[in-house]
Amino acid sequence: MAAILDAKGLNKSFGAVTAAKDINVAVEQDSVVGLIGSNGAGKTTFINMVTGYLKPTSGAIHFDGRDITSLSPRQITQLGICRSFQIPQLFNTMTVHENLLVGVGIVAAAGKRWSSDNHTYADPSKAVDAMLDEFNLGAYRDRTAGLLPEGTRKLLDIAMAMVVRPRILLLDEPTSGVSADEKFVLMDMVMAAVKQHKVTVLFVEHDMDVVERYTHRVLAFYEGRIIADGEPTDVLNDVEVRRYVIGGHIAPAGAASHA
Amino acid sequence: MLTRLLRVALTGLAITAVSSAPALAQQKTSIKIGFVTFLSGPASGPFGVPAKLAAEGIVESLNAGKGPAPYQIKGIGGLPVELVVIDEAGGATKQVSEYRTLVQRQDVDVVIGYIGSGDCLAIAPVAEELKKLTVFFDCGTPRIFEEGSYKYVFRTRPHATMDAVAATMYLLDNRPAVKRVSGINQNYAYGQDSWNDFEATIKAMKPGVEIVTSQMPKFGAGQYGSEISALIASNPDVIHSSLWGGDLEAFMLQAQPRDIFKKSQLVLVAGEPYLHRLPGKIPDGTIVGARGTNGVFAPDSALKRWLVATYKAKSGGLDPNYPAYSVAQAILGVKAAWEKAAAKKIGSATPMGAAKNVKEEMEKAYAPPTQEEVIAAFERNVFDSPSGKVHMNLGKGHQAVMGTAYGSTRFENGVVKVGSIKYYDADRVTPPEGVSSLDWIKSGFKRTK
Amino acid sequence: MRIDRNSIAVVLVGVVLLALGPVLPSWAVSLLNVALCYGTVVLGMMLLMRTGIVSFGHGLYYCLGAYAAGLLDHFGKMPDMLLMVGAGAVTAGLVAAVLGLLLAKYRDIFFAMLSLAFSMILYGLLVKTASLGSTDGFNVAAKTVGGIVIAEDSVRIVVYSLAVVFATLSAFLLHQYLASHQGRLAGAIKDNELRVEYMGASVKAAVHRNYVISAVLAGIGGALMAVNIGHIDPEMTYWPQSGEFVFVAILSGTGSVFAPLGGALVFEAIRSFAYEYSPNTWQMVLGITMLLVMIFLPGGLWSLFTRKRGA
Amino acid sequence: MSQFIAVLVDGIVYSSWLFIIAVGLTLIYGVMKILNIAHGSLYALGAFTSVTLCTMWFSGGHDAMGSYAMLLLAAVLVGLVAGPVIERGLLQFMYGKDEVVLVLVTYALFLILEDLIKLVWGVDPLFITGPNGESPYSLLGNFEVAGLTYPNYNLVLVGVAAATGGALAWALAKTRSGKLLLAVIHDREISAALGINVGRTYFVTFTIGAMLAGVGGALTAPTVSVVTGMGAEVIVLAFAVVVIGGLGSLPGAALGALIVGLVRAAAVHYFPEVELFSIYFVMAVVLILRPKGLFSGAEVRKI
């Protein structure tokens, strides 16, 4: 099976600091990939490069066979790669319903100009309500996004990425700031939605229980490099990974999100 | 609760604002004059407020019946005059709205006002539309009656073309050898017109003069260091300037220490109101004008003495300068027309005994004249003002014509005096009816079409 | 097209205003007329503010609209009111389409300042143009509407009625736009531009589009004002005029398309009465009013009418 | 050649004047993020106060040289009275609001102050003159360059501008309170978290800013006729200067003033026709090429 996402030889440096060093990753369609590593290891840099927020210093990224290295976040989103954020990026003065309606509207207004997939929303408002049900956000439908509890904000942030119908979804620490007992509820919901819409997922996660439970494959980052890549059980038991990643600083469950 | 109160109040305000009707017309017991002049902004000090003080003083004096001959009748036609004063600041758009308010909400009988030429241009057609007698007392642009023809609009001061024409005549009389001419004028319509008129006139009267520089600083700029350097560097024989107000004073304060006037003759076409304010700062021999025979140029008369006394009492001892003379001219112009109309009515009333309804006829004859009658009397009227006789000769009888005068300054005993005054008849300095100012200048000042 | 409560209300207000025209005292009609022209410009300011940007140079389009209308009369000898308003809208829209290419990248105070610079350049150009009367400007009069000659005694009512039609039509269309997918992006951009891009929409294109729309509204307002006042001058693009538009927009609030129209009326009423009853201190009256609104009603006057819903 | 020298001299004198007015504006913006339109009113207040104090000084029959002290006193008075009153009485309730709202707050303040000045001083243009026509403008004599005479007072302007700029730069770089101020300029929230009293910093900054506006007005007073509305004319010019230089940047204000001053002087000497909009043209060009002005740090948003 051909890789849907193929990153080759990615390097990224900020002056003297190297944030990514010779990253080579090929992700297959419908897989769920976990990204682990301590803070500053290069996970978010990787996501930022794939989604166009940062341009790699060298290397290339292909999506579905197409070179997307130099495209803007908007163009990449339109092709079908979408993301969530460590700090939820919401429309804080709008209601939850309106937050999603913006996305539905963008897709509806774009019509067929977007990706090969032809998503249209016949009834935008109903489509949003369906989405709210899917993510169990119905109760918050008319609440102002800026006033939501953190866990709900995380969920809405992910829903906003899903609403534009991506083929690849990148989640940056989806469970940070979410209490321990809610983590699995949240991830179950996300994974169900992902499965239903046949979306390939990459997510950054510090909680190894979450990683182990949901991923097919794990990439371990350390100082900008990928030091291990494989089945979750293999990677999590890797000596280097245990020393540099899991033994290192890993956010305990329930800790607040960190930059 | 508070919110609701506010909301109710606001809605109420909006409704009253839109629906309260002006008081019902009653028996005429006074004449209400809407008076529009600058109360704020740069023109308020030199023109606006002196004009307001003059208007108030004149109205008080007239209401008390203290006007000299031929204006002894109390108020206007025996009715006391009431002033409604409005600020002219804010631009033509706002002034048109305010004018409508004056006429429609305040229900004034006459509007006297407007210093800014743009305001006058904008108001004239509205006056025509609202059919309200409107007298411009100070604005100078010749465009008003050159571009339009109005029934309800009068201007009791001559337009600005004569400033430049008479200035050139005076200059050439005194310094026939001028070759290098320069100017510093504000970059707005009046400054540009004033310079263009002067440039055209001097080129027409003395072919071969060279324009060495024309500086056009922004209105209200305040800092003229660079302009003064540029003027000095161009080594002119003459510096023409229509600067006024704070700009003129700033220019003089900055120019005077820089020895610029030792070589160059300064001509201030609108310099008269500042002479008393700038003792020692105006070089001797500066040519000054007052946009007509106003202020120091006004010939002595009972009317002039009356205006001086009235204005001094109102302003705390200052002599009136040309805005005050302009106001006097406007108010007296209206008074003269009104009383002439009233007299005509009484004069032409059916002789007693000949009419069936003597009482009604008499009442009609002695009722205040209608606006139409006042306008008929105003057109082509000739009346006395503190500056001399005013002829409403141009603009089909709506535009005043007067002579003008220029003189040279002399600093004596701490005051600036004006001597060597020369008077110029209206005919020599004003284009005839139907000819635009610039065309007239370029035609070589022809008297007929 | 969405027919909701507010759309119907806009139409109703328009009808009521039209009906009031012949009934109200003439000064009230003038006041309303000025407020409607002004309000149309402020509708555009509202759209910009909803997008999260503020222009300190919108007088540029107000003035361009007025001069486009004026030149049709002055040089084109086509004093048709519909043509004039159309010319104002098109001229403003075209210039905004070009300048918007540059401005769409700017935000905050920099957007405000660059737009201010553009408006002041137009001011300088007009002041230098003696053939257009320099600072004195020139007079404008509309003589026909759609080719039909206006009878002399009905000019005011026709001008007023057309102002009502254009202002309410603008409000109606803007309301439709704001409720559309494209229009909803305005608020999204104000809240979070990054997310808008990550949802696949171009922030720059949306800002540019909204800027052009607001310029067209300002152009319409300027043309209407030119016909209403009968005179135009470069003061219309001088910075205090642009400042006043921001002032009225803040006074009004951005909650609804009614806010700018109502706010403009309140502003005009306050200003007019302040001129009349406090000729020496009308600026102070305006300044204090504005401070009070900003302190006690940060959402503008419109928040008086919506507060209950939020509670 | 002599004309070129004249452009330089005129330009530098004008730049100095602009810098004195603009530096307070940029300081207040840098620290408080308020683009203070009322800066123009404070400038006017400085000028009017100077006229009053100098007139009192002259009418008291004192030595004319003392009028310079009166100018200084006027600036200090404006700073110490108007600054605190405005900051404590109004602005402190507005912090945290949107930048544009803050601009409008100062615009409202500007309208109020314009009328207040009118109520206190009237609408007549005023200028400083002693019983025998002495003025601080001409007391110091003249100098000559390239055949042009300039009053030495112009050198005072250049000197004060250089001293003000130098003193501020030194204070920011070397003194403790200057460094604290820089911290607040850099990041208000972190500074507050580190225990810097941001409120007090604002208070002091606004007072100094107001004083600088007062200095501008006081130094201008002897050269012009002090007239209502003078603040409005100056404020947009000062905006152009600080925007060209980069809002909140001290060297930016200096460079902006220099550019505007020289461009204007060149326009007056060589192309008087375009003087009216030369400044806005430069402003537009600079903003197009450098969207945040000449001196501005790049901001990176972390996600």
Show me where the domains of chain C are located.
5-238
Q: What pLDDT score does B353 carry?
A: 55
Residue linked to tokens 């070089």: B283
Could you tell me which chain C residue has the CA closest to the CA of A75? C200
Instruction: Outline where B111-267 has alpha helix (H).
Output: 117-130, 143-147, 161-174, 189-205, 225-233, 245-255
Give me the mean pLDDT over the C75-92 stretch: 92
Picking from C113, B310, C246, the residue whose alpha carbon sits closest to that of residue D282 is C113
Does A16 touch chain C if contact means CB atoms closer than 8 Å? no
D198-220 vs D39-59: helix crossing angle, rounded to 10? 50
β-pairing, B134-136 with B153-155? parallel
Instruction: Give the end-to-end CA distance of chain C in Å, rounded to a whole number.
Output: 30
> Taking residues C39-55, what's their average pLDDT?
95
pLDDT interval class at C311 (50, 70, 90): very low
A87 → chain D, closest CA residue: D303
Q: Does C102 touch chain D (CB under 8 A)?
A: yes
pLDDT, greater one: C230 or C75: C230
Give D300's pLDDT tier (boundaries 50, 70, 90). very low
Place of tokens 């956000």: A137
CB pairs under 8 A between B and D: 134
- Say if residue B236 is preceded by a cis peptide, omega within 30 of 0: no
* Nearest by CB: D284 against C121, C125, C240: C121
Q: What are the helix and strand counts (H, E) for chain C?
A: 13, 4
Confidence of residue C78 (pLDDT cuts 50, 70, 90): confident
H or E segment and range at residue B26: none
ipTM of the complex: 0.88
Q: List, for residues D129-158, the tens digit of each pLDDT value.
A: 888 778 899 889 899 988 888 999 999 999
Q: Which of B40, B232, B257 sits opposite D118 (nearest CB)?
A: B40
Residue D297 has pLDDT above 80, yes or no: no
Contact flag B17-C138 (C-beta cutoff 8 Å): no
DSSP state of C125: H
Give me the pLDDT at residue C203, please: 95
| pLDDT confidence of residue C309 | 46
Smallest Cβ–Cβ distance between C184 and the set A102, A160, A164 belongs to A102
| Residues present in chain B in total | 449
CATH class of the A3-246 domain in this structure: alpha beta
B148-190 tens-digit pLDDT: 899 999 999 998 888 899 999 999 999 999 999 999 999 988 9
Provide the pLDDT confidence category of residue C184 given band limits of 50, 70 and 90. Answer: very high
Average pLDDT on D108-114 reads: 93
Residue A53: closest CA among chain D residues belongs to which residue?
D303
Residue C48 pLDDT level (bands cut at 50, 70, 90): very high
How crowded is residue C21: how many other Cβ atoms within 10 Å of its Cβ?
18
Q: Which domains does chain B have, with CATH numbers?
A: 30-160+300-400 (3.40.50.2300), 161-290+403-442 (3.40.50.2300)
The rounded mean pLDDT for chain D is 90
| Continuous segment of H or E residues that includes residue C226 | helix C203-229
C283 touches chain D (CB under 8 A): yes
User: Among A205-209, C165-169, C216-220, D189-193, which is the least confidently predicted range?
Assistant: D189-193
Indicate yes or no: CB of B122 within 8 angstroms of CB of C273. no
pLDDT in tens, C269-279: 998 888 888 88
> The tokens of B311 are what?
């204005």
- Domain D2-289 falls under CATH 1.10.3470: yes
pLDDT for the residue B448? 56
Which chain A residues are closer than 8 Å to D300 by Cβ? none
Q: What is the pLDDT of residue A116?
A: 45
Q: Please name the amino acid found at residue A92.
A: N
Q: Spell out, as residue ranges, where chain A has pLDDT lower than 50.
A: 116, 118, 248-259
Q: Using a CB–CB cutoff of 8 Å, tell me whether A103 touches chain C.
A: yes
C195 in contact with A, Cβ within 8 Å:
yes
Chain C partners (3+ C-beta pairs within 8 A): A, B, D
Nearest to B91 among C26, C233, C262 (CB): C233
- Look at residue D274 in the predicted model and tell me its pLDDT: 83
Question: Where do the structural domains in chain A lie, given as residue ranges?
Answer: 3-246
User: Which positions in chain C touch A109 (Cβ < 8 Å)?
Assistant: 181-182, 201
CA angle B304, B307, B308 (to 5 degrees): 85
Asked if the Cβ–Cβ distance from A94 to C182 is below 8 Å, we say no
Biggest alpha carbon distance in chain A? 53
Which pair of structure tokens corresponds to residue B405?
A: 């005068």
| Interacting residues of B101 by C-beta distance below 8 A, sequence separation 6+ | C27, C30, C31, C272, C275, C276
Instruction: Kindly state the tokens that stand for A89.
Output: 């990026």
Q: Answer whether A82 sits within 8 Å of C198, measured CB to CB.
A: yes
Q: How far apart are CA A213 and CA A191, in angstroms?
A: 11
Residue C65 pLDDT more than 80?
yes
Quote the CA–CA distance of D57 and C149 in Å, as a whole number. 69
Q: Where are the alpha helices (DSSP H) in chain A?
A: 43-50, 73-79, 96-110, 124-134, 150-162, 180-196, 208-214, 232-237, 239-241
Is B188–C127 a contact, with Cβ atoms under 8 angstroms apart? Answer: yes
Q: Which residues of chain B have pLDDT under 50?
A: 20-26, 449
Q: Which pLDDT score is estimated for C81?
A: 93
* pLDDT at res. B348: 77
Letter for the amino acid at C297? L
Q: Is C120 on the interface with D (CB under 8 A)?
A: yes
Q: How far is C284 from chain B (nearest CA, A)?
A: 12
pTM of the model: 0.91
d(CA B279, CA B269): 18
Distance CA C35, CA C46 (A): 15
CA distance D17 to A128: 60
* D127 in B contact zone (CB under 8 Å): yes
Residue with structure tokens 């602009």? D18
> Is C188 at the interface with chain A, CB within 8 A?
yes
Instruction: Name chain A contacts of C185, Cβ cutoff 8 Å.
Output: 102, 105-106
